[in-house]
Amino acid sequence: MATKLESDQEAIGRILEALLDNGLGSARFDSSRDGLKLLHMDDEQKAMDIFDDVLTWMADEGLIRVANRYPTLSSGTTWMGVQLSSKGLAALKKKPSENEKSVAETLSEKDGDLAPAAYSRLGALFGGFVGGAIQTLS
């Protein structure tokens, strides 16, 4: 059974994939609908909670821009105008080492859906870049 952090990291990877496919265009997400679809989960409430937690974290870290968000009748959230920020794009393109692919390269070169563990690794890597950037600024 995956830990909460592993589930969140997998969600980061899956959401990044959707945003990367959208380029610099803005997207609209509904956590009750897109949480189930993007996160490949069966439990609607758990999917909504993870989806909203991850998008909130990404927005708070400056990785995405959100034009507006508001609660829905289904206890979820509608996210309007979601797009990658320059900080988010930079983190997507950063390579962990010279011999490894960036998160963006891994997501764009995949053949079909990646395994959940691969999305978790990408989410952890992406989060690590953000944490590393903060450490270098301190």
Q: Where are the alpha helices (DSSP H) in 22-60?
A: 31-39, 44-60
Task: Write down the pLDDT at residue 84.
Answer: 93
* Annotated domain spans of the chain: 4-137
Task: Write down the pLDDT at residue 110.
Answer: 63
Where do we find the tokens 């949480």? 35
Task: Write down the pLDDT at residue 51.
Answer: 95
Task: Write down the pLDDT at residue 14.
Answer: 86
Task: Write down the pLDDT at residue 117.
Answer: 60
**Residue 97 burial (10 A CB sphere; 0-12, 13-18, 19+):** exposed
Q: What is the pLDDT along the chain (138 residues), one digit of tens a residue?
A: 678 888 888 888 889 888 988 888 999 999 988 999 999 888 999 999 999 999 999 999 898 999 999 998 878 899 999 999 998 888 878 777 778 777 777 777 665 566 566 666 776 666 665 555 433 333
